[in-house]
Amino acid sequence: MSLFDLTGKVVLITGSSRGIGKASAIACAAQGAKVVISSRKQDACDAVAAEINAGFGEGTAIAVAANISDKAALQHLVDETRRGFGRIDVLVCNAASNPYYGPQAGIPDDQFRKILDNNIISNHWLISMVVPEMRERRDGSIVIVSSIGGLRGSTVIGAYCISKAADMQLARNLAHEYGPDNIRVNCIAPGLIKTDFAKALWDDEAKVAERNATTPLRRIGEPEEIAGAVVYLASAASAFMTGQTMVIDGGVTI
Ligand SMILES: NC(=O)c1ccc[n+]([C@@H]2O[C@H](COP(=O)([O-])OP(=O)(O)OC[C@H]3O[C@@H](n4cnc5c(N)ncnc54)[C@H](OP(=O)(O)O)[C@@H]3O)[C@@H](O)[C@H]2O)c1
């Protein structure tokens, strides 16, 4: 059996209607997992679930919309997943927000709070909802999609970077807390990836050229290039890894 096999596993991924989340859902389905597609828009989630069911067999994917800022909606997502698939083996906290671009001094309080709520507190909520069944089974993997922004200073997306650094600390704390029950908690820190989320950063040719020049692999990444790490962290291949952050950035932070 492959170390990366996910047959019989149920993987719930937030923000999986497009970008890194969608690519990760497809990659997990390709390894035999059942996947739960979620974002704020039910129709977009339905379309991705239909695509996955067409490719990997009916019953591989279900779609449940949930805004990560809404605690009741997250509980509904967990309840519907248990109703549809009976369990959650792997949780991927992937959705995040970044409504502000500019110096730290100028950030309105409500936008700063939204970033902290959506990128940190919502992960804490969702993990807390899922972890009891993982504890009972003494098995589970939780993946938080952080960012290399959490490893560096920034003059324009500082609050977002604070939230992504906090995600790495959340993983370390929870790895200690849940490790004795064989639940692993890790982060992935992508560099610049070609998705809608980062469009402002890669849409401008001059900015991309500048970025590429300082990136050893001389290009930005594709969502599929993060999905392999999600499969790795979800699977037995990473059984002895917890509390860590995997940097996948074409080498830009070295
Ligand atoms: N792209 C990059 O360069 C990059 C780099 C480092 C880290 N990341 C991280 O990677 C993760 C995924 O981003 P991405 O680049 O794949 O973005 P993306 O392609 O824009 O996808 C974002 C996904 O999250 C959903 N979403 C957004 N706000 C949400 C909310 N409040 N509640 C629930 N779902 C929500 C979106 O669907 P709806 O809009 O329909 O809700 C969509 O499915 C994020 O945590 C981001 O911080 C990205």
Task: Report residues of the chain scoring pLDDT below 70.
Answer: none
Nearest one of 175, 195, 196, 177 to 187, comparing CA atoms:
175
DSSP string over 52-76: HHHHH-TTSEEE----TT-HHHHHH
Biggest CA–CA distance in the chain, Å, is: 54
What separation in Å is there between the alpha carbon of 8 and the centre of ligand 1?
A: 27
Q: What is the pLDDT of residue 1?
A: 72
Which numbered atom of ligand 1 lies nearest the CA of 118? 31
48 vs 54: CA distance, rounded Å? 10
What separation in Å is there between the alpha carbon of 221 and the centre of ligand 1?
A: 15
Which numbered atom of ligand 1 lies nearest the CA of 96? 45
Q: What is the pLDDT of residue 9?
A: 98
Q: What is the pLDDT of residue 201?
A: 87
17 vs 143: CA distance, rounded Å? 17
Distances in Å between the alpha carbon of 245 and those of 79, 144, 180, 185, 197? Answer: 29, 9, 20, 9, 21
121 vs 133: CA distance, rounded Å? 20
Question: Which residues line the pocket of ligand 1, CB cutoff 6 A?
Answer: 14-21, 39-41, 44, 67-69, 94-97, 118, 145, 147, 190, 192-193, 195-198, 223
69 vs 117: CA distance, rounded Å? 7
pLDDT in tens, 12-40: 999 999 999 999 999 999 999 999 999 99
Q: What is the pLDDT of residue 218?
A: 98
